[in-house]
C-alpha cells in the first residue's frame, strides 16, 4: 500500500514538473517576442528623433531669419519716423 502511494506521489511530482517546464517554455518564447518588439520600437523612435531634430533645426533657422528681418524693418521704420520729425 505504501508503494502505491509513493508511485502516485511520484507521478504527481512528474506531472507538475512537466507543467512547469511547459510554462517556462511559453514564457521564454513570449519574452523573446517582447524583446523583438521592443527592439523594433527603439529603432523607430531613433528614426523619429532624427526627423524631429532636423525639423527643429529648420524651425530655429526660420525663426532667427525672421527675427533679423523684423529688426531690420523695425529699424528702417524707426529711421523713417526720425527723419520726418
Element (H, E) at 49: helix 2-84
Q: Residues 32-57: pLDDT tens digits?
A: 888 888 999 999 999 999 999 999 99
pLDDT of residue 71 exceeding 80: yes
Q: What is the pTM of this model?
A: 0.50
Amino acid at each position: 500500500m505504501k508503494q502505491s502511494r509513493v508511485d502516485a506521489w511520484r507521478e504527481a511530482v512528474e506531472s507538475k514538473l512537466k507543467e512547469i517546464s511547459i510554462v517556462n517554455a511559453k514564457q521564454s518564447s513570449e519574452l523573446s517576442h517582447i524583446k523583438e518588439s521592443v527592439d523594433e520600437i527603439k529603432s523607430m523612435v531613433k528614426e523619429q528623433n532624427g526627423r524631429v531634430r532636423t525639423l527643429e533645426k529648420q524651425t530655429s533657422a526660420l525663426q532667427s531669419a525672421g527675427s533679423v528681418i523684423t529688426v531690420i524693418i523695425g529699424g528702417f521704420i524707426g529711421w523713417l519716423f526720425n527723419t520726418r520729425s
